């Protein structure tokens, strides 16, 4: 695919947005290629995804400002739908997605990282929602996901002021889980992905579903969702394997995603 590379290492898939000349900005082609990369993930084999940016400087420097500049109302709406559909697809993708943020994560770049389950970043990462300085609102979920992740007070400050924050501040406010030197970022992402991939895949998927769906509803509805997800794990090979290993005092577990 032109602007997006997809490779696998065992049960881990790595998607790289690779348009370094434009700091990996999201134009329509990148969004199409990203969609195609997600289509290509073999969910029978892959248990965790990593999303990162090509080059050493940028994760994603936002939606493509050049492409947006001339859009009319219909074109703007079509672009908005295309982006939002993909971001929602990442958020509800059946397996966990880790954003390995290796530089600029501005506008749509910050937003795509927030549609991932977990964010870790390099020490040169820069996060921000600069849209109000461009005369628009965040449009790929920034007003919604940032407030949910870091609280409305900090989200409002960042969005209204359009200020960028460095990796250490992103860590302090809980936007990222960890910060690494650039060269250690991808190895750390792979290590975390492998740890996730070693657990029972059906259980991990049900956890993602329960957390994501539970965040949208009341605690009572959320715990009902949790009960349903818990139930879904039973009668599976992997539930018998996981509990069997404990009862037999066996360290090795053979989870087969069934």
Interface residue list for ligand DAK (CB under 6 A):
22-23, 25, 61-66, 80, 83, 104, 106-108, 130-131, 134, 136, 138-140
Instruction: Return the number of the residue (45 or 71) whose C-beta is nearest ligand DAK.
Output: 71
Least Cβ distance, residue 4 to ligand DAK (angstroms)? 16
Nearest to 145 by CA among 122, 169, 119, 164: 119
Least Cβ distance, residue 3 to ligand DAK (angstroms)? 13
Instruction: Return the number of the residue (64 or 241) whose C-beta is nearest ligand DAK.
Output: 64
Q: Give the CB-nearest residue to ligand DAK.
A: 139
Of 131, 157, 232, 241, catalytic: 131
248 annotated active-site: no
Instruction: Return the number of the residue (63 or 196) whose C-beta is nearest ligand DAK.
Output: 63
Least Cβ distance, residue 92 to ligand DAK (angstroms)? 18
Instruction: Return the number of the residue (53 or 130) whose C-beta is nearest ligand DAK.
Output: 130
131 annotated active-site: yes
Residues 6 or more apart from 164 whose CB is under 8 A from it? Answer: 106, 126, 127, 128, 130
Euclidean distance between CA atoms 129 and 145, whole angstroms: 12
Least Cβ distance, residue 80 to ligand DAK (angstroms)? 3
Active site residues: 111, 131
């Amino acid at each position: 695919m032109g602007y997006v590379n997809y490779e696998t290492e065992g049960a881990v898939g790595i998607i790289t947005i690779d348009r370094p000349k434009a700091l990996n900005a999201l134009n329509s082609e990148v969004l199409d290629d990203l969609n195609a990369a997600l289509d290509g993930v073999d969910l029978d084999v892959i248990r965790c995804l990593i999303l990162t940016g090509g080059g050493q400087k940028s994760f994603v420097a936002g939606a493509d400002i050049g492409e947006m500049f001339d859009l009319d109302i219909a074109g703007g709406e079509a672009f908005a739908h295309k982006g939002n559909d993909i971001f929602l697809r990442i958020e509800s993708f059946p397996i966990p997605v880790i954003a390995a943020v290796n530089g600029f994560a501005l506008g749509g770049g910050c937003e795509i990282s927030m549609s991932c389950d977990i964010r870790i970043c390099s020490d040169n990462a820069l996060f921000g929602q600069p849209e109000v300085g461009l005369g628009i609102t965040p449009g790929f979920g920034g007003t919604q996901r940032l407030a949910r992740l870091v609280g409305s007070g900090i989200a409002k400050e960042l969005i209204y002021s359009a200020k960028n924050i460095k990796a250490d501040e992103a860590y302090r406010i809980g936007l990222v889980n960890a910060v690494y030197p650039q060269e250690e970022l991808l190895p750390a992402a792979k290590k975390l992905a492998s740890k996730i991939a070693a657990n029972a895949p059906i259980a991990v998927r049900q956890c993602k579903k329960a957390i994501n769906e539970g965040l949208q509803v009341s605690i009572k509805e959320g715990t009902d969702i949790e009960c349903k997800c818990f139930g879904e794990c039973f009668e599976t090979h992997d539930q018998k394997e996981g509990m069997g290993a404990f009862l037999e005092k066996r360290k090795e577990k053979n989870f087969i995603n069934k």
